């Protein structure tokens, strides 16, 4: 998959289970501010393995493409970016979501990973639209999306339960002008 200065993305594989578990445990407190509530067993090898298996099945079924974000120099897993809720037919669209290790924030890695995932969505999957939902106070994530070419569309009121509370989300999208 694509490589930029410092990082590359590729579909997660079973061999990534231990690294994915480590990433989640290391960032448990950081990620909880932007994630759905996690059951305690989420942070187990078996649950992470199941999540990766679901990603592999999703790619086979053209419903989910779950990429890991890796440092080019060390091959360390530092985050995830996923194209999910893929809709075919007249819509040809999906949602994008992502996480990045707290220690790697502010280095431009997430913007590059989003750009690579969008390129995959448009060039390989031939999607027309990719949409993201971000809590309005999550300015760093909004900046990532805008730098990757997304535009603001509006606020979806109380549309996702984050950390146990219904949260508004700013909807951003990018359109494939070639498709």
CATH code of the domain covering residue 127: 3.40.630.30
The owner of tokens 């759905």 is 36
Could you tell me if 31 and 99 are in contact, meaning their C-beta atoms sit under 8 angstroms apart?
A: yes
What are the tokens at 22?
């480590």
Q: What total number of domains does the chain contain?
A: 1
How sure is the predictor about 3, in pLDDT bands with cuts at 50, 70 and 90? very low
Whether pLDDT at 173 is above 90: yes
Flag whether pLDDT at 4 surpasses 60: no
What range defines the domain where residue 17 resides? 3-175
As a whole number, mean pLDDT of residues 42-67 equals 95
pLDDT digits (tens, 9 = 90+) for 138-167: 999 999 999 999 999 999 999 888 777 898
Helices (H), 4-157: 17-26, 28-32, 45-61, 109-119, 139-147
Q: Which residue has the tokens 């990973």?
A: 113
Instruction: Please give the helix or strand (H or E) that residue 158 lies within, else none.
Output: strand 151-162
Q: Reply yes or no on whether the pLDDT at 2 is more than 80.
A: no
Residue 115 pLDDT > 60, yes or no?
Answer: yes
Q: Look up tokens 């994008």; give the residue.
A: 96
Q: Looking at residue 5, what is its pLDDT?
A: 65
pLDDT at position 132, please? 96
Q: How far is CA 57 from CA 9, 36, 60, 62, 144, in A?
A: 18, 22, 5, 8, 28
- Helical spans, DSSP H, in 120-152: 139-147
Q: Give the Cα separation of 63 and 52 in Å (integer).
A: 14
Q: What does pTM read for this prediction?
A: 0.91
Tokens of 52: 């990766």
Distance separating alpha carbons of residues 1 and 127, to the nearest angstrom: 17
pLDDT for residue 37: 65
- Residue appearing with tokens 């994915």: 20
Over residues 120-137, the pLDDT tens digits come to: 999 999 999 999 999 898
Nearest to 135 by CA among 159, 109, 108: 159
């Amino acid at each position: 998959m694509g490589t930029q200065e410092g990082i590359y993305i590729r579909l997660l594989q079973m061999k990534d289970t231990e690294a994915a578990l480590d990433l989640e445990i290391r960032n448990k407190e950081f990620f909880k501010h932007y994630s759905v509530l996690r059951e305690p067993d989420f942070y187990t090898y078996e649950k992470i393995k199941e999540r990766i298996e679901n990603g592999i099945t999703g790619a086979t079924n053209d419903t989910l493409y779950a990429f890991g974000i890796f440092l080019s120099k060390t091959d360390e897993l530092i985050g995830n970016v996923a194209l999910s809720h893929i809709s075919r037919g007249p819509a040809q669209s999906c949602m994008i979501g992502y996480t990045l290790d707290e220690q790697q924030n502010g280095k431009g890695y997430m913007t590059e990973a989003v750009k690579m995932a969008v390129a995959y969505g448009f060039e390989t999957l031939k999607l027309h639209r990719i949409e993201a939902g971000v809590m309005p106070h999550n300015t760093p994530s909004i900046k990532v999306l805008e730098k990757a070419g997304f535009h603001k569309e509006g606020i979806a009121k109380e549309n996702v339960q984050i950390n146990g509370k219904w949260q508004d989300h700013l909807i951003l999208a990018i359109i494939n002008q070639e498709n």
